[in-house]
Amino acid sequence: MSRSITVELPRLSYYTGEVIEGTVVIETTSEAKSRGLYVDFTGTEETQITRQSGKTSHTYRSTATLVQWRLPLRGEEPVPPGTYRYPFRFQIPEQGLPSYAGRHASVKYILTARLDVPLWLDTVWKTEIFVFYARPSVRTYAQPVRFRSGGEGPEVYVELDGDRFFARELIGC
């Protein structure tokens, strides 16, 4: 029994607020039992910081799920032999974070198509989707950021004119 699953997408990079449209393609050479066909879209933010004091170090990790959607495309029924196409579409959140990979943090979006096969390995297709800020959404939803240093001695108060910026952009404060 041979089966495969692929996803046809026009591209892998999108702006916040854009609609992702694609097609899941299933090919089987014989009937395959199925508990359903799903498209999952998951956005995850991960942070990791290591603090060292002398010979000991502590690593602090945090993971936050930014978005987790499941679109059911097909119900629980056998898939007959042949090739089948299932279109899907969903919108990336207007205020979603952009994709990012740095030394201490990352934001990643994964698109997964899954044919759920009972009592056997699921047939899975997976790829990373890259999300960028749409400039209008940044300016529409920007909020001032305020910071006041505390403690003894002189204090500093800083107010930035927004909370989202682009590379090489001048930050006014």
| The pLDDT of residue 163 | 67
For the chain, domains (ranges, CATH) are: 3-140 (2.60.40.640), 142-173 (no CATH)
At residue 136, the 3 state secondary structure works out as: helix
Q: Residue 32 gets which letter from DSSP?
A: B
- In the predicted model, residues of the chain with pLDDT beneath 50 are none
| The pLDDT of residue 164 | 67
SS3 content of the chain, % helix, strand, coil (to 5): 5, 60, 40
Q: Measure CA of the first residue to CA of the last residue in the chain; give whole Å.
A: 64
Closest by alpha carbon to 41, among 89, 105, 102?
A: 89
CA distances from 75 to 9, 47, 106 (A): 23, 37, 35
